[in-house]
A and B are shown apart, each in its own frame.
Chain A
Amino acid sequence: EIVLTQSPPTLSLSPGERATLSCRASQSVSNYLAWYQQKPGQAPRLLIYDASNRATDIPARFSGSGSGTEFTLTISSLAPEDFAVYYCQQRSDWPLTFGGGTKVEIK
């Protein structure tokens, strides 16, 4: 199965700062990578699909980049509601797999 490794596990930042989250795949997933945000007690929410496309109603401060095995989710200026856990997920091959998550916490 394709293993997704997210780094760092935790990112401590202040509101207004830039967040850069990484996702590395054990083999190429082309651009078949998505990013999700999850807040405590809530279901995940799709942010980015196909590596770089923002999902409906997702603010422009969220952007995704990368292809093959290296991917990045960038939040250009952290809003208070952005502090959450972020997961990458590949759909290049079965089984679908998620990364272990990056928690973005308030510094």
Chain B
Amino acid sequence: EVRLVESGGRLVKPGGSLRLSCAASGFSFSSYSMNWVRQAPGKGLEWVSYISSSSSYIHYGDSVRGRFTISRDNDKNSLNLQMNSLRVEDTGVYYCATPGPDNWNDLGYWGQGTLVTVSS
């Protein structure tokens, strides 16, 4: 069974930093790309970042580029998101997601999310 478990969300002040993690199990983690998607309270989904299976390709959304850094450790089956210079508008639930089982592209598996609150 594919399992994605996010952690690291908490209350942080504007300008602060936070590191989110996603522990993966039940599939060949090193073969799959990974994504972070977030959702502000009561709002829609916003894609945040992508990393390819070998970390060769990385992409960011415009609102986080230069502040967030995605990384992965294929030996530990883990995905990370280092979030710096946090803003109030970064508040929301952060999901990690990966393709499968039908194709290599669309987000077929999601974690349950971790809540990040940026507030003074």
B-binding residues in A (CB < 8 A)? 1, 32, 34, 36, 38, 43-46, 49-50, 53, 55-56, 87, 89, 91, 94-101
Asked whether any CB of chain A lies closer than 8 Å to the CB of B75, the reply is no
Cross-chain contact B105 with A91 (CB below 8 angstroms): yes
Give the total of B residues in contact with A, Cβ under 8 Å. 24
Chain A interface SS verdict (over half): loop
Cross-chain contact A97 with B44 (CB below 8 angstroms): no
**With A56-B101, A95-B60 in contact, do A87 and B44 touch (Cβ < 8 Å)?**
yes
Cross-chain contact B45 with A44 (CB below 8 angstroms): yes
Cross-chain contact B47 with A98 (CB below 8 angstroms): yes
Within 8 A of A (CB), among B61-120: 61-62, 95, 97, 101-103, 105-108, 110-113
Cross-chain contact B50 with A96 (CB below 8 angstroms): yes
**With A43-B112, A43-B113 in contact, do A91 and B45 touch (Cβ < 8 Å)?**
no
Cross-chain contact B102 with A53 (CB below 8 angstroms): yes
Cross-chain contact B59 with A43 (CB below 8 angstroms): no
Q: Which residues of B contact A91 (CB under 8 A)?
A: 105-106
